[in-house]
Amino acid sequence: MGIRIYPPITNASGPLSVTYEELERIARSATGAIVTKSMTHCPRQGNPEPRLWAHLDGKIGSLNSMGLPNLGYQEYAKLIPKLKEFGKPVIASIASAPCAHNLPPVEQYREIAGAIEKAGADALELNLSCPNLEDVPISMDPQSVRAVLSAVTRDVKIPIGVKLSPYNNVPKLFEEIARTLLDFEIAYVATINSEPLTLDIDLKTRAKVIRPNDGFGGLGGPAVLPIALAEVHRFYRFFQKHRAQIAVWGVGGIIRAEDAIKHFLAGASVVQIGTLFLWEGPQAFERLWAGIQQWLTENGFSSVEELIGQVRDA
């Protein structure tokens, strides 16, 4: 089951999408949907500060180890009906995390998904790829991916997306994960989550730019564009080859309309914006969409659909 997003741009789950006020700002922007921060079973404060570095003048992008700060799924269940009043799809991102009740991760996803569907969300985005928790992300283990998808797809009827890590240097794992996805009715794959285990240093202070996890965190922004394009294209080609009706949503490195066009050419049907939204605020969505439309007109296309997956060989 698919979900139509128009314009085909949303915020990426995470940046400025935790509180109702932040989500309302997204609702009032030019996005085609509202995507929440990943919600967990228990509310979480997240990691100690400084945990986010996002300076435009750095040119690289953003580095974070937020540690999943969020209000907890019961609070989002209350907010979703209010967000729906803005008339665009509400996509609830869900994650698992250690919590006092010791509920196994699969049960956490299942319980949250059921409650959030009931609250009226239009789709779920299963975040299997948080780079900043102590455990290896579920996205790196095909059996765990299967277990979560089996549990959630059994009960839930609304469209389900899956947010994945970059698999660039582990082609065998990419293949195993992609094959696993074919066994489930999922609407889309969102790729990539931030590039894990990256580090940057502020030369003025000679300090690591973030504190948690010894300064290591997930990288977003311009530096990851070619990584994201490769992942989008690999999934797009894989799903085409296997005649799977799974859309690919491109996340990573989009700061100009031309970057979004590259994602569409690589195979994305929707793009999600993270670091740029941090830098520029909600007007980024309007600016990008205007730029995309201008590019289409100037290059003789009448819609984004005509571009999807149309990259040529060199």
Just list the catalytic residues.
Answer: 130
CB of 138 to ligand RRO, least distance (A): 11
Nearer to ligand RRO (CB atom), residue 26 or residue 130: 130
Tokens describing residue 137: 């992300």
Cβ neighbours, 10 Å, residue 274: 28
Least distance to ligand RRO, CB of residue 143, Å:
21
Starting at the edge strand that comes first in sequence, how are the strands of the sheet with 52-54 ordered?
A: 52-54, 62-64, 217-220, 195-198
Q: How far is CA 113 from CA 53, 110, 126, 168, 252, in A?
A: 31, 5, 9, 29, 26
**Can you list the alpha helix ranges (DSSP code H) found in 156-247?**
171-182, 225-241
Which is closer to ligand RRO, CB of 83 or CB of 130? 130
User: Quick one: 66 or 186, whose CB is closer to ligand RRO?
Assistant: 66
State in angstroms the smallest separation of the CB of 216 from ligand RRO.
12
The single-letter code of the amino acid at 29 is: S
Nearest CB to ligand RRO, comparing residues 29 and 132 = 132
CA distance 32 to 29: 9
Residue 10 or 194: which CB sits closer to ligand RRO?
194
- Kindly report each contact of residues 141-147 with a partner whose C-beta sits within 8 Å and lies 24 or more positions away, as own/partner: 142/173, 142/176, 142/177, 142/179, 142/180, 144/105, 145/177, 145/180, 145/181, 146/180, 146/183, 147/106
Of the candidates 4, 11, 3, the residue with the CA atom closest to the CA atom of residue 35 = 11
The 3-state DSSP class for residue 278 equals helix
- Footprint of ligand RRO on this chain (CB under 6 A)? 14, 38, 64-68, 95, 127, 129-132, 193-194, 218
Question: Measured from the CB of residue 217, what is the shortest distance to ligand RRO in angstroms?
Answer: 7
Nearest distance, CB of residue 93 and ligand RRO, angstroms: 8
- Nearest CB to ligand RRO, comparing residues 7 and 222: 222
Contact 2, 123 (CB under 8 A): no
Beta bridge partners of 54: 62
Which residue in 222, 220, 286, 302 sits closest to 9, CA to CA? 286
Q: Cβ of residue 98: shortest distance to ligand RRO, in angstroms?
A: 13
